[in-house]
Amino acid sequence: MLKHSPLFVRATLLLAIFLMQACSVARLDDNLPYGVLNNNDLELVGEGLPTYLLLLDGMIINWPESESMLRSGASLYSAYAGLYVDDEARAANLTDKAMDYARRAACANDDDLCDVRQLPLDELTGILDDMGESDLPTLFVLGSTWVGYIQQNSGDWNAIADLGRVEAIMDRVVAIDERYEFGQAHMYLGALNSILPASLGGQPDKARAHFEKAISLSGGKNLLAKTLYAEKYARLTFDQALHDRLLNEVLEADSDVHGLTLQNEYAKREAERLLASSADYFE
């Protein structure tokens, strides 16, 4: 039963602390994602994460303009949809919610971004040019959540039309500090540029450069960058040697890295799946 779940108990305690110490709310909710992201048990997190999501929903209802809470909501909903939800309709609904939280966080950060999904690209670029280091957390969450939304809706050309806006956001993150969050902005740029083949406007060479940079900036510790590099680029360009080398490196690596452990465990699971289907895919 849910009430016996250790994550439910922890979430309840966190809520009690939150209610008693409202002045510390920013510190509390900023730490919520790391209890998830540093866990190496994918199944446990999958069972317990909905409790965190419901907790955050309740907090956001009471504090609808809290930028840090909205960022946490966007990150966790996007992660849950991407890692655990196979049903396409449900995943689409969850990524829609993640995207709404990300947009609202951006709006709380800067009024000029309240209509970020409708802004012309040149106007958005001008706004981004004025943003700096203090804006990185919100820009990164907005960009990474948007990538997940586009991938979930890759058959929708209206979503594909947003590629330029998302790339501009992640390019700005890279310009401010390309090492931020283990260089993961490069990983997302790699994924963006490999959504489409070159014949339809994709830029696989640019994708490869971004994936290589993401791996380099993380010191090879971001295993998801390698798995995505194999899945999105190597399969797109039919490079089996690169594909298999990257996946074997993932399987041999240590997944325990602060802030990356959960996604590294996911990367290992996906690497096993991709490697098992390598011969069928390439041959």
φ/ψ bin of 110: left (φ > 0), alpha (ψ from -120 to 50), beta (otherwise): beta
pLDDT of residue 44: 85
Is residue 61 in a domain? no
CA distance 174 to 193: 15
CB-side neighbour CA atoms (13 Å) of 118: 4
Is residue 207 in a domain? yes
- Counting DSSP H helices and E strands in the chain, the numbers are 15, 0
pTM of the model: 0.84
Most confident segment among 141-155, 164-178, 256-270? 164-178
CB atoms within 10 A of CB 62: 12
pLDDT in tens, 8-57: 444 434 443 343 333 333 333 444 456 667 888 888 888 888 888 888 89
Is residue 166 in a domain? no
Is residue 19 in a domain? no
CA nearest to 133, candidates 168, 176, 184, 71: 176
Lowest-pLDDT choice from 50-59, 102-111, 180-189, 204-213: 50-59
The total domain count for the chain is: 1
Is residue 264 in a domain? yes
pLDDT in tens, 90-146: 999 999 999 999 999 999 999 999 999 999 999 999 999 999 999 999 999 999 999
CA distance 85 to 186: 25
276 has pLDDT over 90? yes
230 has pLDDT over 90? yes
Domain ranges, residue 262:
197-283
pLDDT of residue 84: 87
Is residue 214 in a domain? yes
Is residue 49 in a domain? no
pLDDT of residue 33: 57
Is residue 52 in a domain? no
CA distance 143 to 149: 10
